[in-house]
A and B are shown apart, each in its own frame.
Chain A
């Protein structure tokens, strides 16, 4: 297994995206700009709410897209990670007609593709928070 890129997310039971905090202004961006001393890595909240969304109904052009050739439409969303920043990412485990702005979601890691060495390439996504979930 390999991450799609280094420094994008933490793993573990509650994975989190890693943003960048502008040292002077405190403004948070995602991802953390590489090689830029003005930004310090900042672990972002695991949870948030859907800020906006759409369904990607056609296969994005390759390159740059490296998803499966056999394309299935997928949901894409901007998620407001509470108190931090709004980030863009795929939304999974949800019926397209059940997506609403304000829906609570959490960050998860998902397999994106298999690389030339046969390793599973992991990326991030968001999934609706399960009923009864007690994770803080």
Chain B
């Protein structure tokens, strides 16, 4: 497989944008990414993209121009962005194309996601009795993890506190004001042990990446950021996932373990080689559990990590440098590509007040979502 470079990135600010559809926010991101790369829409040979609830990505041609290019629609839950990137990466790595776009966008109404049982091949009673609620799963996975490994509520609060502190410096973030630890810990309880400030909110936004072959990247003078790995995995036997009426007593793996292992093998790197990481933080506990599932620490060590600030900017492994989902919100289709966008900014050294010091060279992203899917990318400068 040939090397693939990220030659342009664009983002429509996350949050709420009245008057712009999800697709229009995606188009905004593509225009910005093209401008960043020094390319025109006419130069783009193909695209992969998607949203969860804002329609098909191929409609983007109405916004950007009827050039006839192929655009493949991706609908892969929380891994939509990651899957779009894999598609674009493979199209170039295979030698078929020189320039492609990976695109993700979304626009969700306020409140928790409103999933219906039939969409997940579940019986109606499961939703009727009140169990078709994603936040319950996150709370129950976390409750058991906390009991097993001695994770405290204070540590959950510190994850959210860090997210809001980082987002102050991220122009694309939604919630950009610091929130102190006491406020986080004492805010409204949503699903015990998780309070309001420990959950991300469904939101809006769009992200686009322009990927290119080595030849094209050289022409553009943009050979700084290379895609070293991109992998998506579904769940193995014995895993514990969103919307599970039952779970095997014999515990097994997790989709994140599989995706992480595959990506590290693909890149020829290990967790200790990573300089900055964006990890799925649907809620505070998810970031904590995903630190271990992705191999960055052992189960239980997160207490010390958060107390010592090791995952803060300037720590030994900065995590969610733009505030992650907690501060940016989660437009499902765009969320995974936001992580990659943030890593490109960090690798280029353009993070401003949130820039990871020490000239980071390797950057890791991880998404997780229903019904048990995980996507990981690794970039290298």
Contact = CB atoms under 8 A, between A and B. Distances in A.
B153 interface: no
A53 B128 CA distance: 19
A55 to B, nearest CB: 5
A54 B143 contact: yes
B144 A51 contact: yes
B152 to A, nearest CB: 16
Contact of B249 (A54, A80, A88, A113): A80
A72 to B, nearest CB: 11
Closest 5 CB pairs of A and B: A64-B127, A54-B139, A30-B246, A52-B144, A86-B247
B68 interface: no
A135 interface: no
A113 to B, nearest CB: 8
Contact of A88 (B131, B139, B248): B131
Residue with the highest number of chain A CB atoms closer than 10 Å, among B117, B123, B125, B147 = B125
A27 interface: yes
B192 interface: yes
B35 interface: no
Interface of B: 111-112, 114, 116-117, 123-133, 136, 139-141, 143-144, 147, 188-193, 244-249
Contacts of A76: 130-131, 136, 140
Interface of A: 4-5, 8, 19, 27-31, 34, 51-58, 60-61, 63-67, 74, 76-78, 80, 83-90, 96, 101, 112-113, 123
Given A53-B140, A54-B136, A60-B133, A96 B246 contact: no
Contacts of B111: 61
Given A57-B191, A88-B244, A4 B249 contact: no
Contacts of A8: 125
21 contacts: A30-B245, A30-B246, A31-B245, A31-B246, A52-B141, A53-B140, A54-B143, A54-B193, A61-B112, A61-B114, A65-B127, A66-B129, A84-B249, A87-B245, A87-B246, A87-B247, A88-B244, A88-B245, A88-B247, A96-B192, A123-B125
Nearest to B111: A61
A19 B249 CA distance: 14
Contacts of A80: 249
Contact of A60 (B132, B192, B193): B132
B96 to A, nearest CB: 40
Contact of B192 (A54, A83, A88): A54
